[in-house]
Structure 1
């Protein structure tokens, strides 16, 4: 009886330890006014042709 109880307690602890990291995937940053998600921006270089000339533009892309 003690072995079954001990095994069930160990199994419960192992299952809760495996579930906890999957629930902690979302991070919300709170400010004084509202809740905001942090934006990740990067600069992207786009090359295209216009009027027989190559044009290089730097565009800011945020998700």
Structure 2
């Protein structure tokens, strides 16, 4: 009886050890530069405004 019980416990432990990795979820670790291949698309835009009755033109950097 002890042998059957011991064999059952070993079989159950072996089966659960084989199944556990296949049911594990995938973990994805993202870092700050995980998209290092994508480059920012920046361009310079000219902005014109009026301040105290004077026309002011300035260049502003705009990035996506």
Larger Rg: 2
Q: Does the alignment reach a TM-score above 0.5?
A: no
**Structure 2 length-normalised TM:** 0.43
TM-score with structure 1 setting the length: 0.44
